[in-house]
Amino acid sequence: MSEEKTIRSNSRIVVVYTLLFLLGVACITRIIMLVVKDATFFSGLDTSKCLDETVPDWQDNPLLLDTNCNCRIKENFYDARRGDIYDDLDRPLAADNVIFDIYLDGKTFNTTADKQKSSPYHICQTDKDSLDRLINDVATQFYTVFKDKFSYDLVYYENQVAKSLKSTTKAFPIVRSVKADDKRWVTIEDTAKLKQNKFFAQKIQVSGLNFKPTSIRIHLLGEIGKRTIGVKLNGVTYVGLEGEYNEYLEGQKGVEKVLEYNHVKIPLKNSVPAIDGANVHTTLNRDIQVIVHKELMQTLKTHGGEWGCAVVMETTTGEIKAVSNIAYNKYIEDYNESATNYLMRQIVEPGSTFKLASLLAYLEKKPNDNTTKYPVGQHRFQGQKDVSIDDRQNPKPEEYVLPIEVISRSSNVGIASMVFDAYKKRKDFLSILSQLHITDTFKTQLGRVATPQLYPKNSDFFTFYTNCFGTGIAIAPVITLTYFNAVANGGKMVKPMFVKSITRLQEPVIRYQTEVIDPQISSPANIEKAKKYLLAVVEGEHGSARKYKSPHFRFAGKTGTRDYWNAIAKEYDFSRNNVSFCGFFPYENPKYTCLIYIYNVKGVQSYIATNMFVKIAEKILNLVNYEILPNIKIPEVLPPLSFSVTSAYDAKNIFKALSYDIKQDNIKNPYFFKDEKNIKGYDPALNKDHVPNVINMIASDAIHELTKAGYKVVIQGKGRVKKQELQKDKKTVTITLN
């Protein structure tokens, strides 16, 4: 009988092995067929039986109407990561970030409670009390995690969770980041908190919490400088640096080609990976940008105005360190960063800041500026017998002064008299302004500057007269900034620069250099005179900005005031003005040039631009004063140091930083001690009670030595150790600090 069982057992083994062998042969045969016969089909090369939707006119393929066709070739496109934008210290200004919408799928809750009626989380649609309790508990968890980030109350979460738990078809959103208006989003850190939450880990399966990712563009400074850095207008077109450098930032989309066979997706070899966008490294400085934005915002809110712009340029390089364009928004009834680039695209009458341009034109013809005096106040121009003109800002009797006082007083009559003395015709005056590049447009890394409005065919007296002090001429504020900067830069006119380089994977793609418009717009002698004239505006006896002379640094510049043009009434509104100031600092070695322009301010308030300039300059110099201070020479005889017990590590570093030549390498003691004459090693020797002597040590060193010796430490007071007391029974040392 046993022999018969053995035979049956062996027969079964043979059958099993035979079946396995046949199965193996079948698998190998199928693999060979796939490799040899069907290789071209599954690699996407043979499209005779497969509808290829990646080729042109694929809709005309007969396979489209073939209901038996179960094979298609498709392309899936996916976006590349957009490149980042950095400031001049490689700190991010704009970057892509992933945020999440959170969905809760009620069907995935742990339903083992159905078998345990005593469980407080018994899910049963008919058990209202248990379901309500579960809804409240789940909502409370969400509220606890997000209460400091979102303004949703507990009731909101209860409503959303209830929808999810009572639904049998789909998951419901709990938090929507993409539609958040307050710019607070669910980040990857938030999702990690939820995944680590013990309640959710116990009550929800892995798929219960769904995190739907979305890539968004985040501006690290919020609204500050947003127009310059760039935004997407109407969700379609980028402006600012985002727009000008979009071809580098956007990268290249990836393409994944797949073959769908019986609803199974097979990746094909000829897929193209996405190439992430390159990074743009700007000349902007985050710290200076914040200063300029805050000062302009505060000035507009205090004094009003339709809009304002402020810009800071590095004098020698032309690098723009900050730009702010702020306007009043009637919809929110407050000021915010404007969508208009006023600096580059808005042409305005510059007002009296234009007198520097007239001065440079005058000096081209009259370099000897100390011989002729010109009228200020009430004056009747020769050949204009029926016209009597005076300075509305300085309604005084006629007097004659030198050109430097004309500029410092900001006299309209005076500057016009100077120009008339040098140029008999307006066209000659405009021609020299063009030669000085003052009325030229040019292209920058942020786009082309708006073309100046000059009305060159006008030849009447008043047009010529008003042009001399910046009326009847409309130019973009950046033009004023550029030629003021040329004066500060010794006559070298450079283009405003916004981008220093473009990199990809930390390797440079393009490096930009400063572009020179003109190496010397005027003779060095004339440039030096112009700088002194601008200094007289601030420090002269009659200077229009003399009230804002700073005790902390010297600066030079020119004030500007222009009557507001009412486009609706088509006339000037003398009760409102456009005010400005453009200058450079520090005067001795100009580091920065700064322009302030505020449009449509009530009353004559030119001082507000000057005041704002001074505040910006002082704060910037506080940031970079180490660069402009003269080198401080270390005296040959070093002053004596005074200290008690100090750790050897700290002392050596201090000595090195102060250039003291202390050689204590042979001292093995862990501390230094200075008596009246010498610096020497110090050993916290044990006293009669075998307690380390920590007198004069700082608290941290004292605690280290005492605990190392096996004592507990009680601290009283602050400072260095002045007294130590031992409690033998408790093996505790009380140290008194003073």
For 73-98, what is each residue's pLDDT tens digit?
777 777 788 999 999 999 999 988 88
Q: Quick check: 380 and 387 in contact, CB under 8 A?
A: yes
Amino acid at 515: E
The answer to whether residues 581 and 558 touch, using CB atoms and an 8 Å cutoff, is: yes
Max mean pLDDT among 426-430, 628-632, 722-726 falls in: 426-430
Asked if pLDDT for residue 500 goes beyond 70, the answer is yes
Q: Work out the angle between the directed axes of helices 355-365 and 412-422 (0-180°, nearest 10).
A: 30
List every span in the chain annotated with CATH 3.40.710.10. 288-628
Nearest alpha-carbon partner for 604 in 385, 448, 298, 393: 393
Phi, psi dihedral angles at 545 (to 5 degrees): -115, 15
Q: What was the pLDDT predicted at 390?
A: 65
524-542 confidence digits (pLDDT tens): 999 999 999 999 999 999 9
Q: Compute and round to an integer the Cα radius of gyration of the chain.
A: 39
Distance CA 681, CA 667 (A): 6
Give CA–CA dist 521/486, Å, rounded: 8
Per residue in 309-341, pLDDT (tens digit) is: 999 999 999 999 999 999 999 998 999 999 899
Nearest to 138 by CA among 192, 207, 201: 201
pLDDT at 382 over 50: yes
**CA–CA distance, 624 with 314 (Å, rounded to integer):** 12
Residue 445 per-residue DSSP state:
T
**Of 32-36, 70-74, 137-141, 269-273, which has the strongest mean pLDDT?**
137-141
**SS3 at position 134:** helix
**pLDDT the model gives residue 625:** 64
**Please, are residues 403 and 533 in contact by the beta-carbon 8 Å criterion?**
yes
The pLDDT-based confidence of 207 (bands split at 50, 70, 90) is low
Higher pLDDT, 286 or 628: 286
Type of residue numbered 148: D
Has residue 122 got a pLDDT over 50?
no
| 20's tokens | 């396995």
CATH architecture of 85-279: Alpha-Beta Complex (3.90)
Q: For residues 654 and 465, which has the higher predicted lDDT (pLDDT)?
A: 465
Angle between helices 477-488 and 524-539 (to 10 degrees): 110
Q: Is the pLDDT of residue 137 over 90?
A: no
The segment(s) of the chain belonging to CATH 3.90.1310 are: 85-279
Whether the CB-CB separation of 362 and 403 falls below 8 Å is answered with yes
In terms of Cβ atoms closer than 10 Å to its own Cβ (0-12, 13-18, 19+), residue 280 is buried
Reference 582, options 350, 300, 416, 324; nearest CA is: 350
Amino acid code (one letter) for 240: G
> pLDDT value at position 713?
83
Longest CA–CA separation in the chain, Å: 147
Question: 3-state DSSP call for residue 474?
Answer: strand
- Out of 175-189, 513-527, 570-584, pick the least confident: 175-189
Q: What is the 3-state secondary structure (H, E, C) of 214-264?
A: EEEEEECCCCCCHHHHCEEECCCEEECHHHHCHHHHCCECEEEEEEEECCE
CB 94 within 8 A of CB 229: yes
| Residue ranges in 545-698 assigned as alpha helix (H) | 607-628, 648-657
Instruction: Give CA 218 to chain center in angstroms.
Output: 10
CB contact at 8 A, 362 and 428: no
Average pLDDT on 376-392 reads 70
| Closest CA relative to residue 347, chosen from 485, 449, 244 | 449
Q: Is the per-residue pLDDT at 265 higher than 60?
A: yes
Q: How far apart are CA 17 and CA 696, in angstroms?
A: 88
480: tokens are 């004023």
DSSP code, position 106: G
Rounded-to-integer distance, Cα 621 and Cα 626, Å: 9
Q: What is the mean pLDDT of the chain?
A: 82
Residue 499 reports pLDDT greater than 90: yes
> Do the Cβ atoms of 509 and 605 come closer than 8 Å?
no
Q: How many residues appear in the chain?
A: 738
Is pLDDT of 378 > 70? yes
> What's the pLDDT band for 634 if we cut at 50, 70, 90?
very low
Place of tokens 């710290």: 287
User: Residue 600: which of 390, 225, 294, 309 has the closest Cα?
Assistant: 309
Contact status, residue 464 vs residue 429, Cβ threshold 8 Å:
yes
Bridge partners of residue 578, in order along the sequence:
562
- If one compares 57 and 126, the residue with the highest pLDDT of the two is 57
Query: How large is the average pLDDT for residues 412-427?
Result: 93
CA 524 vs CA 130, 400, 418, 537, 590: distances in Å: 88, 27, 21, 20, 16
At 346, the pLDDT band (50, 70, 90 cuts) reads very high
Token pair, residue 396, equals: 């005084």
> At residue 521, does pLDDT exceed 60?
yes
> CA-CA distance, 675 to 643, in Å (whole number)?
8
Measuring CA to CA, which residue among 105, 103, 98, 104 is closest to residue 185?
Answer: 98
Phi-psi region of 359 (alpha: psi -120 to 50; beta: other; left: phi over 0): alpha
Q: Which residues of 331-361 are buried (b: 16+ CB within 10 A; e: fewer)?
A: eeeebebbeebbbbbbbbbbbbbbbbbbbbb
How many other CB atoms are there within 10 angstroms of residue 366's CB atom? 16
Residues 171-199, mean pLDDT to the nearest whole number: 76
CATH number of 288-628: 3.40.710.10
Please state which of the ranges 31-35, 176-180, 348-352, 576-580 shows the lowest mean pLDDT.
Answer: 31-35
Residue of 125, 177, 168, 107 lying closest to 146 (CA atoms): 177
